[in-house]
Structure 1
Amino acid sequence: MNSPPFSEPPPASKLSPPAKQVPFSEQQVRDDLVNYARSLFQRGLSSGGAGNISVKLPDGSFLVTPTNSCLGELDSQTLSKLDAEGNHISGDKPSKEVPMHLAMYRARSTCGAVVHLHSPYLTALSCLTNIDHTNCLPPITPYYVMRIGRLPLLSYMKPGDPAIATALADTARDHNAVLLANHGPVVSGSTLKNLKIRHGSIF
């Protein structure tokens, strides 16, 4: 009798064990955020007290960098913690840009982290007047296409203006990143790790 056209399954003893679930650690998220912020500062993508970062936690609350804080000198224990509605729970006073971060999370259900910077080159680009507001940075590399896509430019609004959140709510649904005129970029990611990869294509 001919052998069957398929092989016998390996014995259970040789099967790979199921992947272990890594327990959630808020402290690890805090440390990762601080390390990411420091790397941005060291690369000259943030200076002084400019820029802010947030990361969503599993329960819907999120951590955000405090107001007027230097991204190169953050303390994981004093990061601002807010509930899903943006109410301050603990830590230092949060960035005035919290409404902008909330808008990104609400517009994009898969969003788990947001960074807003005043990075020199993109901020310079945001000050130009003769660019396409629907796609102000045409793609050059395939990675930019995959990770960013189109980069819309929103009209100027004063930093901290609630109108920024309203404008983002409409635009962020279809875009991973947005450029604020005369201000700087806002980029989202599904996780902090994903955000690091995505921002590398634009900053």
Structure 2
Amino acid sequence: MPGIIGRKIGMTSLFTPEGKSVPCTLIEAGPCTVTQVKTVDNDGYAAVQLGFGERKEKNTPKALAGHFKKANATPKAKVVEFKIEETALALGDVVKADLFEEGEFVDAIGTSKGKGFQGVVKRYNFAGVGGQTHGQHNRGRHPGSIGACSWPSRVFKGMRMAGRMGGDRVKIQNLRVLKVIADRNVIVVSGSVPGAKNSYIVLEK
């Protein structure tokens, strides 16, 4: 299985045998239920669909409830598909944190924290217009010039300007698995992963 769905618990730190403190993130990885197995003959490609977390049955659409019922599973809050050529998994099987081993590297995918509407200094690390001398007045965090005059007589698309920041799908690669607590379905990875506490994280090998 190439990956698993998890939930970000929070951050802490671990000490290496050399006495170095390493920041790390705790992720509740699984248990995930196999809610669908796709094949080339039926769907045109091979994949395994996993479901994680619980949702109230009254808030689950009838079509989705029937989909989970086929797998003899309760309604799941998060459903993710993993492409895989061959698998021994079947409908209703459970994937847990012991899928990973200590020392291997994984990729973490999540939705970054939303920052709202931000200016260019915070959003793109602009330095601002400059000091307060030579006629400058309350322009310290402004973007400055955004284009020419007679040509092109417009602002090019993609110009870095103020706007909505965060809330994007972010993938952090090559995070080392520092510890696997199998009985609690917890995986400890080095560094930070995108998203707030209790947000959903997809771990890929």
Q: Which has the higher contact order (CA 8 A, sep 6+)?
A: 2
Q: Which has the higher helix share?
A: 1
The verdict on a shared fold, with TM-score over 0.5 as the criterion, is no
Q: TM-score, normalised by structure 2?
A: 0.24
Which structure: larger Rg?
A: 2
Greater share of strand: 2
